[in-house]
Amino acid sequence: MVLRRSTRLLVTLGVVAALLVAGGIAAASLLSGTHEVPAAHFDEPAAAAPHDTWQTVTDAAAKVSYDVPPDWELADTEESLTTSNGVKLGNLVDWGRYACQGAEYGRAFTASGLAQPDRRPGKAAAELAAAVAADQYSDGHRTAAVNVGKPQPLSVDGAQGAVVQADATLPDSTDQCTGSKGTVTVVALATQAGNSVVVVAADAVPGPEEPTPLADPARLDAIVKSLRVVP
């Protein structure tokens, strides 16, 4: 995905809406094409204790905090990302920077913010997962195929919510630098701030020109599981 993700926000609200059906499950199916071989995952061992070495990200406005690995890079505090369904995300953290054809890219990122308050957390998470997946993996010519899983209920520090995973694929991509497949996980919690959301997104395959390592899925899962509610 492109580092400084706003450069790839090319999908309209209508396209994102078309990806969702009642219950928050995707209508778009993934297209099968050539079989790509993922690069090796490279990160610290998943068993490493996050409490000692990981960085804590606190979103005071959304009233949540979570931990990211020590080699993930926090963006400037003023940087933000507005998704195609209108959610403004801040607290951007990147991992896996690389350069290709004069541009800068990244393999994974996290972000957080507040989704629309007039939705249940499950719907808010599904809509945001669909939007981020389509935003990040579509290009100027084609819209990525996005499969949004069914929202799974969860409770964090007494706050009720849901977690949703979306998988995106851009078939027959001609971009030699970016990954054509990725996964986006969104947690939405009903907190005192509203629909608090945390996004964890990562490439699933590398681009052919720069097959740099991918983020360890176990560590991505650990980021999600570290989520907590703050006063």
Contact 125, 164 (CB under 8 A): yes
- Measured CA to CA in angstroms, residue 92 lies from 6, 19, 121, 197, 224 at distances of 12, 25, 21, 13, 15
**Predicted local distance difference test score (pLDDT) of residue 38:** 38
What's the pTM value of the predicted model, to 2 decimals? 0.81
Looking at residue 124, its pLDDT comes to: 98
pLDDT for the residue 51: 58
Q: Determine the pLDDT at residue 113.
A: 98
CB 153 within 8 A of CB 122: yes
Instruction: Print pLDDT tens along the chain (231 aa).
Output: 654 444 333 333 344 444 444 333 333 332 233 333 333 433 444 444 455 799 999 999 999 999 999 999 999 999 999 999 999 999 999 999 988 888 888 999 999 999 999 999 999 999 999 999 999 998 878 889 999 999 999 999 999 999 999 999 998 777 788 888 999 999 999 999 999 999 999 999 988 888 889 999 999 999 999 999 999
Q: What is the CA radius of gyration of the chain?
A: 16
| pLDDT (0 to 100) of residue 39 | 39
CA dist 146 and 201 (Å) reads 13
Longest dimension (CA), the chain: 48
Residue 90: its pLDDT value, please?
97
